[in-house]
Chain A
Amino acid sequence: MTIPLEPPPELRRRHPLHLTRSLGDLWRSRELLLTLTEREIRARYKGAFLGFLWAALTPFFLMVVFTLFFDRVADVDTGGVPYALFSYVGLIPWTFFSQSVAFGGPLLVAERDLIAKVAFPRETLALSAVGVAGFHAAMSLPAIALVFAFNRTWPEPTSWWVLPLLVVQIAWTAGLVMGLSATLVYWKDLRQAIPTMLQVGLFATPVAYGTDGIPPDLLNVYTVINPLVGLIDGYRRVVLYGQNPDFDLLALSTLGAAITLVGGYALFKRLEGGFADVA
């Protein structure tokens, strides 16, 4: 019997996505997610003299530069809060986000050996990037405490709102990193594009300035596209001003985050089958 050069058409069929089953696998892999995060953190600081201090230094230096230069030029309206605190409360979530994307975007390609040789739910790799950046963000909290103390002020009691805001931010970041990392396997241009997008993003997001810096008629649409707008606005309100978040803005951020999370996960699962073929 000779075997044809191409499979007969009746054998070909589409493979449906089983997202609920995938979510079950992901839940069973939660220990793996912890392990991958820990593996990266341990490896990154082996032999680094300053160790975890580096995690705090990135947003801190940006805060210093912003305070010394940006504030002088732009004359930002901080609502009476010292500019150092105002920018720092924006910079820590921004750094959490940008480090997740910068590290997680190219991660599947960087770990191509693992992808090609070991079978495990691949999204844990993308999610571990968020875990590593989240760990860094937590490490920079002592530094912000110092800046608060230096300015003789303290976070407002409404700061508990940070937790739900953080959930929305993690959802958005996770969805984006999953979508980007999976796309990058096939479309390597993204590796060049990600640093550029992040540089642009730092200035296109109200980090150095306030939400009032965004054209008002674009604000709603832009918040859905870039949920960090509503989130950083929220962080500032609850930590610095003792207010509740702006719920309209937060709803738009949550909408954007939900779309990105579901879309990014579905895209990841759709593209996952070919990772080992091309990574």
Chain B
Amino acid sequence: MSPEPAHLDGRIEAIRLWKRFRTDPHPGLLGQAARLRAGGTRWRWALRDITVQIEPGESVGIVGVNGSGKSTLLKMLTGTMVPTVGDLRVGGPVGALIELQAGLHPELSGRENALAYGTLLGLSRQQARDSLDEVLAFAGVDDAADRQVKFYSTGMRLRLGFSIAAHLSAPVMLVDEVLAVADAEFQAAATARLRALQAEGTTLVVVSHDLSVITGLCGRTVWLDDGVVADDGTTAEVLGAYRAARDPAG
């Protein structure tokens, strides 16, 4: 493979990232006075001082219990969220296999969605048209390509969303629990697709509660606990410590 320019090489550098959210809902006119008396807006720091550096082509798993900040971190890597504090550099366009149905429009057909979603994810219209057949075939919806997505089964929607996102040639691919609800057959196909991306040198970041997925794909794992990095090392080490912490008796 030809060497990529530095800003497209798939390297991820997150240096001392902090991210906060407001804990109280936006108050109405009458609530404002009470809020000011209480000392202004209350914030919760969802991520604190996260430093993670990922080399081009590396595959890194992220584990942690619900609410530990995994999805927030992924959203910042995707670029949909901005860190409150800290420096984040991501080398190139990011493909995100995150809640894949978000970009699908229920009224449009599978074909129309594949074109629109592909463009949303950063393809040119020509590129989206070129990869269309492959995307529909991989999703197994070629027969239903002209049916509106609202008439698709949950599995078909999931497969279509995965297939569109997985056929981007982005140097960084983020994967968040997308395989959890798929059937075994598509899980196998999807995992094979992720391995193919790995072989092409794509940087992979995988979030999953299914630790076997992480073990299968990632040599390195980061453990997030309550918004901070609890451990960062080889998958075997980190998952060992993670399991021990969650089940001290075992």
Interface residues of A (CB under 8 A from B): 3-7, 11-12, 15, 31-32, 34-36, 38-39, 42-44, 46-47, 113-120, 186, 188, 273-274, 276-278
The reply to whether the CB of B102 lies closer than 8 angstroms to some CB of chain A is yes
**Bound state CA distance, A54 and B220, in angstroms?**
57
On whether the beta carbons of B108 and A39 are closer than 8 Å, the reply is yes
B86 neighbours in A (Cβ, 8 Å): 7, 11
**Bound state CA distance, A197 and B120, in angstroms?**
32
**Bound state CA distance, A278 and B23, in angstroms?**
11
**Bound state CA distance, A44 and B124, in angstroms?**
23
Q: Which stretch (B62-70, B91-99, B180-188) binds chain A?
A: B91-99
B98 neighbours in A (Cβ, 8 Å): 117
Q: How far is the CB of A259 from chain B (nearest CB, A)?
A: 27
B79 neighbours in A (Cβ, 8 Å): 119
For the complex of A and B, the 10 pairs showing the least CB-CB separation, nearest first, are A119-B79, A117-B102, A273-B82, A43-B107, A35-B119, A113-B102, A39-B116, A7-B18, A276-B80, A7-B85
What are 6 A-B contacts defined by CB distance under 8 Å?
A3-B48, A7-B48, A11-B16, A11-B86, A118-B103, A119-B78
Q: How far is the CB of A23 from chain B (nearest CB, A)?
A: 18
On whether the beta carbons of A39 and B112 are closer than 8 Å, the reply is yes
The reply to whether the CB of B105 lies closer than 8 angstroms to some CB of chain A is yes
Q: Per DSSP, are chain B's interface residues mostly helix, strand or loop, or mixed?
A: mixed
Q: Per DSSP, are chain A's interface residues mostly helix, strand or loop, or mixed?
A: helix
B113's nearest neighbour on chain A, judged by CB, is: A39
**Bound state CA distance, A113 and B107, in angstroms?**
16
Q: B218-245: which have CB < 8 Å to A?
A: 228
Q: How far is the CB of A185 from chain B (nearest CB, A)?
A: 11
On whether the beta carbons of A35 and B80 are closer than 8 Å, the reply is no
**Bound state CA distance, A188 and B27, in angstroms?**
11
On whether the beta carbons of A5 and B45 are closer than 8 Å, the reply is yes
Size category of the B interface is: 35 or more
On whether the beta carbons of B148 and A5 are closer than 8 Å, the reply is no
- Give the interface centre of A12, A31, A118 by most chain B CB atoms within 10 Å: A118
On whether the beta carbons of A119 and B119 are closer than 8 Å, the reply is no
B115 neighbours in A (Cβ, 8 Å): 35
B45 neighbours in A (Cβ, 8 Å): 5-7
On whether the beta carbons of A118 and B121 are closer than 8 Å, the reply is yes
- Give the interface centre of B48, B107, B119 by most chain A CB atoms within 10 Å: B119
B120 neighbours in A (Cβ, 8 Å): 32, 35-36, 114, 118, 120
The listed residue (B26, B84, B96) touching A119 by CB distance below 8 A is: B96
A112's nearest neighbour on chain B, judged by CB, is: B102
**Bound state CA distance, A165 and B72, in angstroms?**
45
On whether the beta carbons of B103 and A35 are closer than 8 Å, the reply is no
A3 neighbours in B (Cβ, 8 Å): 48-49, 228
On whether the beta carbons of A11 and B148 are closer than 8 Å, the reply is no
On whether the beta carbons of A117 and B99 are closer than 8 Å, the reply is yes
On whether the beta carbons of B105 and A39 are closer than 8 Å, the reply is yes
A34 neighbours in B (Cβ, 8 Å): 125
